[in-house]
Amino acid sequence: MFTGIVEGLGQVQKIYPKGGGHGLAIKPPFRLDGTQIGDSIAVNGACLTVTSLKGDLFEVDVSYETLRRTTLGKLKVGEAVNLERALRLGDRIGGHLVTGHVDGVGRILNREDRGAFIFLAVEAPEEVAHYLVEKGSVALDGISLTVNRVRGLVFELTIIPHTAEITTLKFRKPGDEVNLEADLLAKYVEKFLRPYQKEDLEAKLRDAGFYGS
C-alpha cells in the first residue's frame, strides 16, 4: 500500500528481457539501507517487488500483465521514474490510499504552464473515468492528485510547483501516456451499492407487487 507521495525521481539504468517480461535496474534518489529483497516499491505508480540489490541499484521484475496494463513497457534507459516505497504502519498519509495496481493508461490532452503551476487535461479510459469525481482523488504515474473537474472521459488537474519539481510531471507534454489508478474507496462503495442500484430496486419492488402489471 502507498500514499501517492512520491519520494523522488529514480533513473532507469538497465532494461532486459526476463521470462516473457522485463527486468529493470533502477537507481533511486534515496539510500537503500533497510531495503530488502521482497520489498514493494511503486515505479510510476505500479507496485513492483525488489528482486535484487546491487550497490546503489535495485532490480524489479515486470510481468507481461503489468507491461500490458501500464506504460512500463515503453520505458527507456536513462528515463526518470517516480518512486515511492511502501507505506509503513504509523506513517502519515499525506495523499490517499494507493494500491499500486494500475487501472488503465490515460493520455495527456493539454498542458498549460501558468507561472509556477501546471494545468493538465487528461483523457482516461472508461473504466477509470467511471470513478472520477470533482475534488476526488486519482493517482497519476503514482502521484496522488486532486481532480479539479470532470467532463466525460476528460479530467483536469492543477500541479503545484513542489510536485512538478520532484516528479516526472515536469517532463510531461500533450500526447504522453500516464498510468492511472482510481480511488480505492470509490471502487468499494460502488460494489457495496451495486445491489441497490435503481434498476435492481425497481425490479424487486415490482416482484413484491408495488407496481402494476
Decide if pLDDT at 185 tops 90: no
Stretch 158-180: mean pLDDT: 96
Whether 118 and 185 map to the same domain: the answer is: yes
Whether 57 and 134 map to the same domain: the answer is: no
Stretch 103-121: mean pLDDT: 96
Last residue of a domain, one of 85, 119, 138: 85
Closest to 134 (Cα-Cα) out of 157, 118, 114 = 157
pLDDT value at residue 61: 97
- What pLDDT band is residue 191 in, cutting at 50, 70 and 90? confident
Report how far residue 46's alpha carbon sits from residue 41's, in angstroms, rounded to the nearest whole number.
8
pLDDT value at residue 89: 78
Opening angle at CA 99, ends 153 and 101, nearest 5: 60
Determine if the pTM surpasses 0.85: yes
| Proportion of the chain above pLDDT 70, given as a percent | 92
pLDDT value at residue 94: 81
- Could you read off the pLDDT of 67-89 as tens digits, one per residue? 999 999 999 999 999 999 998 87
Instruction: Give the domain CATH number at 12.
Output: 2.40.30.20
Report how far residue 31's alpha carbon sits from residue 43's, in angstroms, rounded to the nearest whole number.
16
Q: How many CA atoms lie within 13 A of 23 on its CB side?
A: 13
Average pLDDT along the chain: 91
Whether 79 and 149 map to the same domain: the answer is: no
Residue 12 lies in a domain: yes
> Would you give the DSSP letter of residue 98?
B
The three cell numbers of residue 52 are 535484487
Stretch 171-181: mean pLDDT: 97
Whether 74 and 45 map to the same domain: the answer is: yes
Residue 162 lies in domain: 104-194
Decide if pLDDT at 211 tops 60: no
Residue 202 lies in a domain: no
Opening angle at CA 77, ends 67 and 159, nearest 5: 75
Task: Say how many domains are in the chain.
Answer: 2
CA 59 to chain centre: 20
Residue 182 lies in a domain: yes
The three cell numbers of residue 4 are 501517492
Decide if pLDDT at 169 tops 50: yes
Whether 13 and 50 map to the same domain: the answer is: yes
Whether 122 and 67 map to the same domain: the answer is: no
Whether 76 and 109 map to the same domain: the answer is: no
Residue with cell 504552464: 113
The three cell numbers of residue 49 are 517487488
pLDDT value at residue 178: 98
Distances 125 to 33, 122, 179 between C-alpha atoms, Å: 39, 10, 11
pLDDT value at residue 213: 45
